[in-house]
A and B are shown apart, each in its own frame.
Chain A
Amino acid sequence: MSLCHFYPSLVIKFFRVCVCVCVELKMAASSERSPPPFPDSEEPELLEDSDEGADAFTGTSISEMDSPSPDSTRPPKDIFNEPPEDIFSDPLSNINSEPQKKVDAKIPSPSSDEAVDLFSDPLDDDSEVMSSPEVQNPMPDLLNEPVEAPKSDVLGEPPVHRDAARQQDVFEDPPKSSSKSSSVKKAASSEMFGDDDDDEDLFKEPPKVVTKKPQPSGPPVDVFTEVKSDVKVKPQVKDDPTDLFAEEALTAPAPKPSAGSSSSRTNGVHSEEQDLFSEATVELSLDSPRNDRKNKDAVKPSVSAPAAPVASSSSKAPSKTLKELEEEESEDKFDLNISITNPEKVGDGMNAYMAYKVSTQTSLTMFRSKTFTVRRRFSDFLGLFEKLSEKHSQNGYLIPPPPEKSILGMTKVKVGKEDPSSAEFVERRRAALERYLQRVVSHPSLLQDPDVREFLEKEELPRAVSTQALSGAGFLKMLNKATDAVSKMTIKMNEQDVWFDEKIQDVENEEQHLRKLHVMVESLVNHRKELSGNTAVFAKSVAMLGSSEDNTALSRALSQLAEVEDRIEQLHQEQASNDFFTFSELLADYIRLLGAVRGCFDQRMKAWQRWQDAENMLQKKREAEAKLLWANKPDKLQQAKDEITEWEAKVTQYEREFERISATVRKEVIRFDKEKARDFNRQVIKYLESLLHSQQQLIKYWDAFLPEAKAIV
């Protein structure tokens, strides 16, 4: 929540980023539509640019990709595999690994001015830092050893000048123009800025183009090469203070790398792209409303574009702003109404179990009919949870935890006939299961899960195994949990994200307090029950006293008092169950849920750990390569290089996974917080209403008693 305070500039920057994304996409679109015109005029320069390791934007690569060459799988590989080799061979052959390390250390400083500002969102920041080793490699070349890299000097500067010049000429608005100037397609881009509707039409196309891309390992390299080229341009500009245009253009390239990288990510991996954007959306809308208008304009098109290809499958919510998201969620609620009724004992003896009727009422089209009912037993609910957490928890989703298994309670139900405590147990469990299911279906992503649908719809469900508390599987689970706990303790994550840092702390504190509160409410429930029991006993005693009293009026009044106390006893009992069901159970639920939230944080930490491990591995491989270079063993060098590429890919993959999981967790936690606020609000109000009702009844009872007391003569 407080995040927005830290990033006032983020919104504006983000606006630019989005614009750039638009531009990039537009470019791709136009490139597909009209391939012939642009290569002639500007392409040569840009291609020259790409000689250096990459090209300034995806446009070129896409257009190349797009070109219907017969060996469409080959050229991309060339393009994307070559540059990194260049990068690495260049500095490494000239300089040994020592300077490279220095460069690594320097990483944040040169680019931080723009890039860090831009990516104030630490997730992106991470990626920037991550990618920088490669990105920055050529830079020192340019800055410190211009002689060794004459090519880049020569080739790097002119485009900037030209860009800047063009930009001055054609456009008045620097940020817009700059972003456009780099994209070169004037006609297309101006059209884009002019007309929003048009945009969306256009945007639908580029992703399609992109999906055709037949290279899964390509994107990481793509990202780096692009970013590198962009970043490289920047220092040059800085070096040249005389160039006024370049100064002005300084802001322009800055957003571009991000645009380039993010758009390239769009091209590479679609599903995660969405998360990234949605997260941005959430954050933006958290900001002060004055930027809202702007943001919406800026964000919407950019988001709708990448979302388009995926829209049919998973979540629809992320592509909306927060408000819309909220609306949609509440709509969801109305759309799907689940109730659990009729708990029924099936079977006899220790094999008996309780079956619950799960009735669903919905207008969602994904279900076969509007209302349907199935019978489920408790272990089915647990099974559902197992399935969901297996599938989704590593993605950082918050899976609502089901109520705990209670051997004692269930045994009582199995053995006992019609015991009030076992009836209470069943009712408690029924209510808990109902709330559990409602939480599952109110989760936009989980609702889409086929297992959830199956659970709600399918007549017969395969018997859920491994949910038994005392089975071998249960033991294995416990073992897993134990090892998890140990590894959790050993992982020391230095948290760069303030938001997560605070949130983790908050969640822990909150859980602690809720636990305390829960204990107290439980004790209130017990005391209230005790009070109810004692009132009943007292009522009986007063009735006896009344019967032995020989003053008729007093005797009558005493028996009336006994009656009043009897009713009050009922009232206390009702209140005790209200205490329990509306208040205590709510707290118990949220203690469990906070546990699940912590689980999400753990998943994120694991992802981070994986990434860091890969990073370390990569570092080792590089050192090994450097050693090989020293030893001059070219035969093994190739293998080492291959390994480095492989690990680079892994690092990128893990990093991206971490980013994705961070984004998801953050989104989930925000959603959870909102839901929590709503739940607490609703339940506590309900609870207070029950208290209100109690007091009203009390007034009624005592009001009736007062004349009796006064009638004593």
Chain B
Amino acid sequence: MMSNLDINFFFEDFRLNAYILNVDLQTDATLQVDISDALSERDKVKFTVHTKSTLPNFKQNEFSVVRQHEEFIWLHDSFVENEEYAGYIIPPSPPRPDFDASREKLQKLGEGEGSMTKEEFTKMKQELEAEYLAIFKKTVAMHEVFLCRVAAHPVLRKDLNFHVFLEYNQDLSVRGKNKKEKLEDFFKNVVKSADGVLVAGVKDVDDFFEHEKTFLLEYHNRVKDSSAKSDRMIRSHKSAADDINRIASTLYTLGTQDSTDLCKFFLKVSELFEKTRKIEARVAADEDLKLADLLKYYLRESQAAKDLLYRRGRALVDYENANKALDKARAKNKDVLQAETTQQVCCQKFEKISESAKQELIDFKTRRVAAFRKNLVELAELELKHAKGNLQLLQSCLGVLKGDT
């Protein structure tokens, strides 16, 4: 089992890269939130949330608290449940940290320590640690992005719960949902999606929303598809890199068999493969970071946008129903006042949602384009960097090998 020490050791590395990973968001100086540190324990990750603010409702200008994943979820849910925010795209909640797979592998490695050579063991360990680190970095980045999005949002940043989350230096004592709540959530979701289909079928009066609706429905499905495909692509890329790694170590053992020229040759090739596989693994990791994560994020974000549209659609349906009810009431001349107030409320709600939703959707698009641009440019640059590095390695190795013969 890997000790916490090891992970903290990696975290040093992470600190260097934390800001590079961060998806670019236009935060202003009045409220800046980041995750300055993270600690991986046996079954949970503790994030140190660091806030810098000039806002008057904070006691201090700069402070840090320790938060766990569950608290992030609590914050997210509180946004979703708040009617006030129905007209906004709620930043998608960060995915649950999932170290189980690599932890398991590490454990297996520890058990199998006796059955392999020292070099093999060290190599495997390094590999797993690197994998672990990558997941860790990603988790931290996702949580940070969520906080940054909230902090950058003109309305959500003023939310009381958010401030508590940032400032309260004790445990928020949120608990995970119990079974009953989970079941409720599940039914809610079923009802919501069934309702969503009904609502989506309603022709929108506003062309902008009608267009957004069709776009988002399609976009969400496609981004989902792309995200799954990119995952698969990257997975096979990683396996290929692993193969190269194994080839390198086998070549190494072949090379150390003897001291003939051929063995020296094998050693050189092994060395080359060792280096290229590192690059190849980096290519896969960077594709993961720049492409797959981007797609995954926009999968969730487009889901959030869809939810917004659903809420608006729901409000629209409610409004129309209220109108019908009012008409009926007027015809029967019964409960007119009550119907009128309902109609008024629905109308207000709908209009409020529509108003903010329009802006939110426009923002969403701007953000999306910016994020894609940034990530794609970075992806291309990294691919170029790695390919050039590989090229150089191959060239120098070929030079040496050819010079030998």
Interface residues of A (CB under 8 A from B): 1, 506, 509-510, 513-514, 516-517, 520-521, 523-524, 527-528, 530-531, 534-535, 537-538, 541-542, 544-545, 548-551, 553-554, 557-558, 561, 673, 676-677, 680-681, 684-685, 688-689, 691-692, 695-696, 698-699, 702-703, 705-706, 709-710, 712-713
Contacts and interface: CB of A to CB of B under 8 A. Distances in A.
B243 A524 contact: yes
A179 B205 CA distance: 120
A32 B175 CA distance: 113
B146 to A, nearest CB: 23
7 contacts: A510-B254, A541-B229, A554-B369, A554-B372, A681-B265, A688-B269, A712-B369
Interface in B206-254: 215, 218-219, 222-223, 225-226, 229-230, 232-233, 235-237, 239-240, 243-244, 246-247, 250-251, 253-254
B250 A517 contact: yes
B164 interface: no
Nearest to B402: A685
A133 to B, nearest CB: 39
B384 A703 contact: yes
Nearest to B223: A545
A520 B236 contact: no
Given A691-B276, A703-B384, A509 B223 contact: no
Given A527-B243, A712-B373, A534 B229 contact: yes
A554 B373 contact: yes
Interface string B105-146: 000000000000000000000000000000000000000000
B306 to A, nearest CB: 14
Contacts of B260: 1, 673, 677
Contact of A688 (B219, B246, B376, B401): B401
B395 interface: yes
Contacts of B230: 538, 541
Contacts of B258: 506
Given A509-B257, A534-B236, 19 more contacts: A506-B258, A517-B251, A520-B250, A524-B244, A530-B236, A534-B232, A542-B226, A545-B226, A548-B219, A550-B365, A558-B372, A680-B265, A696-B391, A699-B387, A699-B388, A702-B380, A702-B384, A703-B384, A712-B369
B405 interface: yes
A interface secondary structure, majority: helix
B interface secondary structure, majority: helix
Interface of B: 215, 218-219, 222-223, 225-226, 229-230, 232-233, 235-237, 239-240, 243-244, 246-247, 250-251, 253-254, 257-258, 260-262, 265-266, 269, 272, 276, 365, 368-369, 372-373, 376-377, 379-381, 383-384, 387-388, 390-391, 394-395, 397-398, 401-402, 405
B387 A513 contact: no
Contacts of A513: 250, 253-254, 257
Most chain A CB neighbours (cut-off 10 Å) among B246, B272, B395:
B246
B236 A531 contact: yes
Question: Sorted from nearest, which 4 A-B pairs have the closest CB atoms?
Answer: A524-B243, A712-B373, A709-B376, A531-B236
A551 B379 CA distance: 20
B247 A517 contact: yes
Contacts, number: 158
Contact of A545 (B222, B257, B365, B373): B222
B380 A541 contact: no
A516 B250 contact: yes
Contacts of B236: 527, 530-531, 534
A534 B233 contact: yes
Contacts of B272: 688
Contact of B401 (A534, A542, A681): A681
B398 A689 contact: yes
Given A544-B222, A554-B373, A685-B401, A506 B257 contact: yes
Given A524-B243, A550-B215, A706 B384 contact: yes
A549 B254 CA distance: 52
A685 B387 contact: no
Contacts of A544: 222, 225-226
Contact of A677 (B226, B262, B373, B390): B262
A551 B365 contact: yes
Contacts of B219: 545, 548-549
Given A517-B251, A544-B222, A554-B373, A677 B261 contact: yes
A530 B232 CA distance: 9
Nearest to B284: A531
A695 B254 contact: no
A702 B269 contact: no
Contacts of A545: 219, 222-223, 225-226
Contacts of B244: 524
